[in-house]
Structure 1
């Protein structure tokens, strides 16, 4: 009996990549963990071919690194591949903010203010989770990117965020103090865009991105169990436990 389309899609390389990324975001897979193609193939009921393709997709998003004769490993914020990606993301985020300051319509600005109000309310609530706040920031930046009216830059930013942005973003918003700092940065950026101050919007966006990365790295480094310096040795991941 042939599998239906939905069943085949669940086993496709992009779907496997999304599932593994979710495991990285949730902490089920930690920086330095070895990603066994055999264990992943067993988990998803596929051959090792689709798993290898999925891992290459994750590598292109800087979430994993594939080492010859050693295998694939989950990246951390301290890894060079992640740093290069975040550097590119910082400049593109700043460029989009600058363009938004120049091109935002009145409707764009009103929507930015509405999204900012949501961020402010969440930042003031002690019960807000990092993930809730992160999702609200995604709503805000989608409006900001749209206000730049540059589809190509918008897509590049989406591609960059698909990996490291989604996987590590919540680390920069883990505490209420961090979320308050993030909200204040978004408030200042919104004011700069509304004032049509391109230079200020660009500079604020760069500093804001850099500060968020610094907070995320600081938090990750403060959790010894989640930080692994790769020395060419495989460390058993929790994939087997996840499948039982």
Structure 2
């Protein structure tokens, strides 16, 4: 099978690359949840005019990363616990089906690539007991890509970007990283055995554990905010 496509919807145009940069700034917490986007400063930082910037903002709003409030501007989306659960339910539906397809379609080279990824991950985890899981999303992305279904892959990317944004202020637990690694190993064993239903069940259990951990961190660090509007609609600038 061919090398999986990149997780994000990238384009080769300059405007497209600017969209990728803005998406990453939002998703990774450089622009904080609830923060109002300063179009003048962002356009200058990205080296584009405000027209393409506004197109990028509308695109990210359609992906669920921004809220555009009439006469107020665009704000980085905030999430409450129910919305986080909804996103994990969507991700679980996508990934359990994807892993079933992957169990039928992945070849030996694909499985070796996944094994190499997990071996490299294990080395990092063993060398640093306090690290979060390096490349966790890479494993999930590769499994979804092995389904061969581009529609699932695009939906997964959008849902996962929203989850990353929702969790950008709550951090990670090193203990969970090791448990997640073991669960990934079990999924890979099921894939190698061609057992589609076992792989799907293990992926479902893994994502349920991930949700429980995410909610524990989320509810202890991020106050609930109104659905649909950025939680703090202040005129905050970059």
TM norm structure 2: 0.74
Query: After the TM superposition, which residues 69-148 of structure 1 pair with which residues of structure 2 at under 5 Å, given as runs?
Result: 69-78=71-80, 84-126=86-128, 129-130=131-132, 133-134=133-134, 136-148=135-147
Q: Which stretches in structure 1 are left out of the alignment for 5+ residues?
A: 1-8, 240-244
Q: What do you get for the CA RMSD once the two structures are aligned?
A: 3.3
SS of residue in 2 equivalent to 1:35: coil
- Aligned pair count? 223
Distance in 2 separating the partners of 1:165 and 1:70 = 25
Of 37-46 and 206-215, the range deviating more from structure 2: 37-46
Distance in 2 separating the partners of 1:22 and 1:176 = 23
Q: Deviations over 1:163-220 (max 9, x none)?
A: 3255457778723102112102201211222232222211222232233234234323
Query: After the TM superposition, which residues 24-103 of structure 1 pair with which residues of structure 2 at under 5 Å, given as runs?
Result: 24-44=26-46, 46-78=48-80, 84-103=86-105
More helix by share: 1
The 1:26–1:216 alpha-carbon spacing in structure 2 relative to 1, beyond 3 Å, is same
Q: Which stretches in structure 2 are left out of the alignment for 5+ residues?
A: 1-12
Counterpart contact for 1:112–1:190, Cα < 8 Å: yes
Specify which structure has the bigger relative contact order, considering alpha-carbon pairs within 8 angstroms and separated by 6 or more residues: 2
Q: Deviations over 1:92-112 (max 9, x none)?
A: 111111112223222222222
TM norm structure 1: 0.73
Give the counterpart of 1:210 among 192, 208, 211.
Answer: 208
Residue number in structure 2 paired with 1:201: 199
SS of residue in 2 equivalent to 1:66: strand
